[in-house]
Structure 1
Amino acid sequence: MSRESLSDLNTRTLIGNTDARGTAWHYRADLQAEEPNHYPGPIPVEDVRRRLFDWHAISVPVATELPADLQTMTHLDQNGHPARWSYLNERQAICRDDTFEVMGIFAQGYAMHQYDEWLVATVADILDSDLAISSAGLLRSGAIAWVEVSMPESIITPEGVEFRPNLLATTSFDGSIATTFKRTITDVVCDNTRETALAERGPTFKVKHSRHSTTRLSDAREALQVVHSVAESFAAEIHRLCQTTVSQREWSKFLDRHVPIVDKHGARLTGRARSIADKKRARLDELYRHDIRVAPWAGTAHGVLQAVNTFEHHDATVRGATRPERNMLRAVTGEWARIDSEALQSLHAVLA
């Protein structure tokens, strides 16, 4: 089951620039509480602080419950027997200071990166007339957070690809991700997030939750400036991909590599495995040939990657989460980079 209900997505996320981009998939007017979470223009910095990050993480002791006698007991356990607490001095629990919900348990060397300091204050330093907060949110009851900065207006390349450069700042209190600042691209026609340089990893700056991590805050602020260079580099990458032709025979070979119908020993898949593979191949082929989000670039490397990315965003099976939650987690954990990279490697192998 997903931890994020529709109510959570409508109260724990903020979506900006809806006049130009429309509402989010999960938008429900009746779940908006006292004020809507969608903004016609940019999201004010103070609203992010007030509505999402008005609490802090705190460290509390961790203890285990052990049997005791009448002399050593500190309390009665759930069965009414004498028990005592034994503190684990080498461990700490990270909790919210408003709900006291435990988000993670770590060694004493773990350092908390408060959302207001690492995400809001750091991002606010680079905001100007060309950059604004476009989305922000909490996942897993506050254990993961992100702030996204974007250029207000989309860019259209000569090849007809409309995109929007973003900077994603994210961190966690459950140990799932380091504090990360990375550039992404939203392909506006289908709201896909892709890595900027598909052949290589886009610029990413990560800071582990260690004792000395606070000394790297100034480095993080410098790393955030890369958002200004995203548009030119991505446009060049799009041009290269659109100039790389892919024949129908090469597209078929790509499907054989990307969604094989044989196992690692060369034997043909059967039963449910074959059915799943056939269904995915058919959907990818349909997107590639006929879907308006992909078909205009069929016959090029960009079309191939767009088909894969669109499928993963909108068609791939989702388990244990809602689709918006899964897509957002893939962005903050770097999973989209892996998907793009694997697809590109398969295509390079075919074209070679």
Structure 2
Amino acid sequence: AKSMHDIDFTKNAPAIAYTGGTPWHGYGQVMLPDQTLADWIIAAGLDYKVLERPVGWIAPFIEGVKTTLETLGKPAVYPKHVPIKGRKALIRDDVNICLSIVSDRYKPIQPKEIMQFFESLVKDEGFKMHTAGALMDGKRIWALAETGKEFALKGLDRIGAYLLLTTSYDGSSATTAQFTSIRVVCNNTLSFSLNRGENQTEGIVRVPHTTEFISADVKGQLGLTEGWVQFQDNVIQLADYKVSKRQAIEFFLELMGVTEDEAAEGKQLQNVKKLLSFYESAPGSQYMSSKNTTWGLVNAVSYFTDHGRRAQNNGTRFNSAAFGDGARLKKQAFSKALKMAA
């Protein structure tokens, strides 16, 4: 059944599995600590293969026009299938859905391979599987692992480190691995990474679909320990930097691109009002680390993208917050706040 959700419902059940408390989007199959990789693959709706098939078009029969075969006195075959060079279709084998038409150089990573990468991290690095699932009929799959690293800001504000791995079958994004922090009090997510200079300021490891996914290479590039220390230092700096209400309003206005001549009821102005409200009253906003600080500004933006932004449904909001406009807005807010606190 077709669903309005970005979470994949092609098998009439949400393609998502998780451990611990129910995720904020409210969907999925709860997993127990001793369940196997095979259990995870089935529960997360990732038990399908992505097949590669040639694509083409059907040449129409045109009345009165003889084909080359007919002019040679041979019987014509209708309709005629004409292959398209340089392209192929990616087909989901269990429900026979075409996920996309891509270049013939495109190398899809199977859902099982993503999960095997995580299983190796669980064994080698002591990570724990946290959540996994599919979005948009299986066009994008993702998995989240708990690294076991955590720190507390000013006593109460606990933040944990996770690894998010995602790949797409519709050409919308490369296979990416990135660390993300989750704030315990409100489940706000914020990506963090090792800043490796000009070429890798985002610190996301990207594997283009034209190259092979080699898990050892990806592991080697991630740099969790250094990235986490750097992120922790940045967050402490943000939690120590105090701001006035006027500075907070200016921060949100600039972030959302609201200009002085914008109509008072403009959509972005409404969003700024929401941000201000989350800054003052969202879960965790009264913690010492957040109240009247730049860390509070960042968390208002994270809460807005992860929980408070208008969306068709929770699945759509989740897709934006983790991979789309919401993720970009959080990055902008974090770097803007760091400049302010520098």
TM range (shorter): 0.7 to 0.9
The answer to whether residue 40 in structure 2 is matched with residue 48 in structure 1 is yes
The answer to whether residue 180 in structure 2 is matched with residue 184 in structure 1 is yes
Contact 1:44 1:133 in 2 (8 A): no
Amino acid at match of 1:169: L
Out of 116, 121, 134, the residue aligned to residue 138 of structure 1 is 134
Separation in structure 1 between the aligned mates of residue 150 and residue 336 of structure 2, nearest angstrom: 30
Q: Give CA-to-partner distance per residue, 1:309-342, whole Å, 9 cap, x none.
A: 11122221214xx223432454245x45521232
Equivalent in the alignment of 1:174: 170
The answer to whether residue 115 in structure 2 is matched with residue 120 in structure 1 is yes
The answer to whether residue 139 in structure 2 is matched with residue 148 in structure 1 is no
Contact 1:53 1:115 in 2 (8 A): yes
The Cα of 1:218 is off from its aligned counterpart by 2.7
Contact 1:197 1:237 in 2 (8 A): no
Amino acid at match of 2:231: F
Equivalent in the alignment of 1:331: 322
Q: Give CA-to-partner distance per residue, 1:17-74, whole Å, 9 cap, x none.
A: x2xxx2124547xxx7xxxx11254763221234433221111111112212694343
* CA distance 1:197–1:153, shift in 2 (3 Å): closer
Q: What is the correspondence of 1:18-33 to structure 2 with a 5 Å cutoff?
A: 18=20, 22-27=21-26
Amino acid at match of 1:340: K
The Cα of 1:227 is off from its aligned counterpart by 4.0
Out of 75, 79, 96, the residue aligned to residue 92 of structure 2 is 96
Query: How many percent of aligned residue pairs carry the same amino acid?
Result: 21
* CA distance 1:293–1:49, shift in 2 (3 Å): same
Separation in structure 1 between the aligned mates of residue 40 and residue 268 of structure 2, nearest angstrom: 43
The Cα of 1:202 is off from its aligned counterpart by 5.1
Separation in structure 2 between the aligned mates of residue 42 and residue 203 of structure 1, nearest angstrom: 32
* CA distance 1:108–1:255, shift in 2 (3 Å): closer
Equivalent in the alignment of 2:65: none
Amino acid at match of 1:255: F
The Cα of 1:249 is off from its aligned counterpart by 2.8
The Cα of 1:347 is off from its aligned counterpart by 4.3
Equivalent in the alignment of 1:161: 157
Which has the higher mean CA deviation after the structures are superposed, 90-99 or 290-299? 290-299
Q: Give CA-to-partner distance per residue, 1:175-231, whole Å, 9 cap, x none.
A: 111111110011111111102259995531111111x424x443013235x445555
Separation in structure 1 between the aligned mates of residue 38 and residue 270 of structure 2, nearest angstrom: 47
- Secondary structure, counterpart of 1:283 in structure 2: helix
* CA distance 1:290–1:67, shift in 2 (3 Å): closer
Equivalent in the alignment of 1:286: 277
The Cα of 1:261 is off from its aligned counterpart by 4.7
The answer to whether residue 339 in structure 2 is matched with residue 342 in structure 1 is no
Out of 213, 217, 220, the residue aligned to residue 218 of structure 2 is 220
Equivalent in the alignment of 1:205: 205
Contact 2:9 2:137 in 1 (8 A): no
Separation in structure 2 between the aligned mates of residue 324 and residue 258 of structure 1, nearest angstrom: 25
The answer to whether residue 302 in structure 2 is matched with residue 309 in structure 1 is yes
The answer to whether residue 238 in structure 2 is matched with residue 241 in structure 1 is yes
Give ranges in structure 2 of 5+ residues lacking alignment. Answer: 63-69
Amino acid at match of 1:60: R
* CA distance 1:220–1:141, shift in 2 (3 Å): same
Separation in structure 2 between the aligned mates of residue 238 and residue 346 of structure 1, nearest angstrom: 13
Question: What TM-score do you get using the length of structure 1 for normalisation?
Answer: 0.79
Separation in structure 2 between the aligned mates of residue 219 and residue 195 of structure 1, nearest angstrom: 20
- How many residue pairs were aligned? 320
Separation in structure 2 between the aligned mates of residue 202 and residue 346 of structure 1, nearest angstrom: 14
Amino acid at match of 2:136: R
Amino acid at match of 2:47: D
Give ranges in structure 1 of 5+ residues lacking alignment. Answer: 75-82
Equivalent in the alignment of 1:80: none
The answer to whether residue 40 in structure 2 is matched with residue 14 in structure 1 is no
Amino acid at match of 2:282: D
Equivalent in the alignment of 2:67: none
Amino acid at match of 1:15: Y
* CA distance 1:160–1:232, shift in 2 (3 Å): farther
Which has the higher mean CA deviation after the structures are superposed, 89-98 or 153-162? 153-162
Amino acid at match of 2:216: S
Which has the higher mean CA deviation after the structures are superposed, 128-137 or 148-157? 148-157
Equivalent in the alignment of 1:79: none
Amino acid at match of 1:238: V
* CA distance 1:241–1:347, shift in 2 (3 Å): closer
* CA distance 1:197–1:239, shift in 2 (3 Å): farther
Separation in structure 2 between the aligned mates of residue 228 and residue 344 of structure 1, nearest angstrom: 20
* CA distance 1:326–1:42, shift in 2 (3 Å): farther
